[in-house]
Each structure stands twice: as structure tokens, then as C-alpha cells.
Amino acid sequence: MPNAVDLFAEIDGKRILNDTLAAMYSISNGYWVMLRPLAQGKHIIKFGGRFPKNGFSQNIQYNITVK
């Protein structure tokens, strides 16, 4: 998915997405983040980015509780 900009991901206010990107073969498209298991308790996960060429953007927030 070329031309995505301003990609971000954070957990509990801490940025987790770095500038290291990798390409691999798959039958899906999109951007993916693999996380270690979160500690028990409440967490806020935020992620998003935009495609300026078509005006599409996302800014998503999950409020989760790990038991």
C-alpha cells in the first residue's frame, strides 16, 4: 500500500511504531503491528495514518481491559 504517510501506533501513550518497515509476501494488504502480550489491566491502543492522494485518513482508539 504505497503512499501512506503519518503512520502511528501507541499503547498507553508510548509510541510503538518505528521507521523500520518490511515487505513480505502475503494474501492480504494493509499495515500490521505485532505486539507482545499486554500486562493485566486497562490499556489504550491508538493507531492510524493517512493517504493524501485520496484524502483518506484513520485515527483509531481501542480502550481494552486485559484480565
Give SS3 for 13.
coil
Give Cβ neighbours of residue 18 (< 8 Å, ≥ 6 apart): none
- Identify the bridge partners of residue 62 per DSSP, sorted by sequence position: 45
pLDDT digits (tens, 9 = 90+) for 32-50: 778 889 999 999 999 988 8
Contact 5, 50 (CB under 8 A): yes
Of the listed ranges 7-11, 25-29, 35-39, 41-45, the least confidently predicted one is: 25-29
**Listed residue (18, 7, 15, 12) closest to 45, CA to CA:** 12
